Amino acid sequence: MSASGFGERLREAMGAYGPLCAGIDPHRSLVEQWGLTYDLEGVERFAMTCVEALGGHVAAIKPQSAFFEVFGSRGIALLERVILTARELGSICILDVKRGDIGSTMDAYAHAFLGPDAPAPPDAITVSPYLGYESLRPAIDLAHQEGRGVFVLCLTSNPEGAEVQHALRDGESVAASMASGAARDNAAAAARGELGSVGLVVGATVGDAVDRLGIDLAAVHGPILAPGVGAQGATGEDLRRVFGAALPHVLASSSRSILKAGPAVSAIRDAAQVEANLVAALAN
């Protein structure tokens, strides 16, 4: 078990490098924009250049698993290199893998990414709770045991998400119930004055949905991974309206606006620094 929980380690990294999570998303258009071929060799050059540029220079790095899985076992081997190298260079690594299932299957997913024998464990993973929040229990408990974290999908910015996330049961929205579950799991850390290790994914462009659905993000006492900054255009006003008192716990996620600066390592690094400064300024 880690001597320091994931939430506290992430808070320290955000204090040191700024509240930015830089995505590594080697989709075809970006890889070809760099002048590389869209094959395993091109994706490898793209991904490892990103890690070299960003590792130890941003609070967190977030590779998107799907863009590696598309190349089969060799792509997954490359993803493992990305994770391990990012961690070796001093950045927290959040694997965007959105796993969610029930029972022994969820337990297997948890051990694959968070367990003591995982081949390339990231610091945290994204998880999908839409088989019910408690279906995530194997991942949440194992993450606590191993000093790792999870980010639970709560309010996403895609328009289709509202039909599930905004739905009501006994007067409470599905999204609010996810936030309540995370708050319960973070209660012990909160009592110690620490940031919990169960975070939420809440889009920076969800407008008034947090208030309208009665969600108290500050009460979660966990980190909030916030897509929508950068290329998607969230403003300081958006951040304050969406996150309110929870804003100090927001880790803004940005990919395209950073990666399009490549392929030069220095240009990617500079773009990430500009983005980190922008997010810090917007949050004030």
For β-strands 172-173 and 20-24, DSSP reports them as unpaired
For β-strands 168-169 and 172-173, DSSP reports them as antiparallel
Residue 204 lies in a domain: yes
DSSP state of 3: S
pLDDT band at 278 (very low <50, low <70, confident <90, very high): confident
Of 228 and 271, the structure prediction assigns the larger pLDDT to 271
Residue 49 lies in a domain: yes
Residue 117 class from Cβ within 10 Å (0-12 exposed, 13-18 middle, 19+ buried)? exposed
Q: Residue with structure tokens 């945290």? A: 124
Residue 248 sits in which domain range? Answer: 6-282
pLDDT tens digits, residue range 148-157? 999 999 999 8
What are all long-range contacts of 275-278, with beta carbons under 8 Å and residues at least 24 apart?
Answer: 275/20, 275/22, 275/229, 275/230, 276/17, 276/18, 276/19, 276/20, 276/58, 276/59, 277/18, 278/229
Three-class DSSP labels, 30-78? HHHHCCCCCCHHHHHHHHHHHHHHHCCCCCEEEEECHHHHCCHHHHHHH
Q: Is 98 noted as a catalytic residue in this protein?
A: yes
pLDDT tens digits, residue range 73-108? 999 999 999 999 999 999 999 999 999 999 999 999
Record the pTM.
0.96
Residue 1 lies in a domain: no
pLDDT for position 115: 97
Residue 225 lies in a domain: yes
Least confident of 10-24, 53-67, 123-137, 237-251: 237-251
CATH code for position 183:
3.20.20.70
Question: 263: cis peptide before it, omega within 30°?
Answer: yes
Selected catalytic residue, list 27, 87, 98, 137: 98
Domain count for the chain: 1
pLDDT for position 4: 77
